[in-house]
């Protein structure tokens, strides 16, 4: 029986998947992500090998009437989700690692495509992925600057804090309010207003705190990091 996949073909596909995994993994490692070069290389090469195996098994055992080359590849798509979930980290109200999880999913697809002999499609996908990670990442930061989440605690003399005045004060500074909580238990008379807020990198926190201290009935202001 003629072999559809020669040893040279197999070696070439595995080598190409190694290169593809290294390229995407290098970009992730340069940004100090949890999944770097080794993880991406292992996923890409492993996906390629599994697709090669799914192609080789039906041709090697041609008496298997139910041989389906796509069966193993389908399991790769399902299994990669567990690795992607492991790359995500929850920090307070933020979730980090979504892009790395997506890159793991993409590199698995690239590895499967290489294993199936779709070299052009794989090369185009890797190039587009680099554009998305390197070029679009910087563009996204310019248009939508990253926010620093902090907890803003304001102690008021009165039981009912001036919420409208507080929101009107922080709004000109580009601060986004994610959640509001009023706690009256800390004092018999006053109340504590807790705001989970997002600060753009350009916000002058010193000026903001000075503006907040002009609110009537406000006794103290405390700004804490939110992790």
Give the chain's domains with CATH numbers: 7-143 (no CATH), 147-225 (3.30.70.260)
Average pLDDT, the chain: 82
User: Cβ(83)–Cβ(104) under 8 Å?
Assistant: yes
Low-confidence ranges of the chain (pLDDT < 70): 1-3, 62-69, 87-95, 145-147, 159, 185-188, 201, 226-227
pLDDT of residue 103: 92
Report pLDDT for 122. 95
pLDDT digits (tens, 9 = 90+) for 188-227: 677 888 888 887 767 778 888 888 888 888 888 888 776 4
> What does the pLDDT read at residue 95?
63
What is the C-alpha to C-alpha distance for residues 101 and 132, in angstroms, rounded to an integer? Answer: 14
């Amino acid at each position: 029986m003629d072999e559809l996949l020669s040893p040279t073909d197999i070696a070439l596909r595995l080598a190409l998947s190694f290169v593809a995994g290294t390229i995407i993994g290098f970009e992730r490692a340069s940004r100090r992500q949890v999944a770097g070069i080794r993880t991406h290389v292992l996923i890409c090469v492993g996906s390629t090998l599994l697709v090669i195996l799914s192609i080789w098994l039906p041709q090697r055992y041609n008496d298997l009437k139910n041989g389906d080359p796509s069966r193993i590849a389908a399991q790769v798509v399902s299994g990669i989700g567990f690795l992607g979930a492991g790359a995500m980290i929850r920090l307070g109200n933020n979730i980090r690692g979504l892009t790395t999880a997506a890159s793991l999913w993409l590199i698995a697809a690239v590895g499967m495509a290489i294993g199936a002999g779709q070299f052009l499609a794989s090369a185009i996908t890797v190039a587009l992925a680099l554009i998305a990670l390197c070029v679009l990442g910087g563009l996204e930061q310019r248009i939508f600057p990253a926010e620093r989440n902090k907890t803003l605690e304001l102690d008021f003399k009165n039981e009912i804090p001036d919420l409208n005045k507080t929101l009107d004060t922080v709004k000109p500074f580009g601060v986004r309010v994610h959640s509001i909580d009023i706690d009256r238990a800390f004092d018999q008379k006053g109340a504590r207003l807790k705001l989970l807020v997002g600060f753009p990198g350009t916000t002058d926190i010193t000026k903001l705190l000075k503006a907040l201290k002009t609110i009537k009935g406000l006794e103290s202001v405390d700004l804490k990091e939110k992790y």
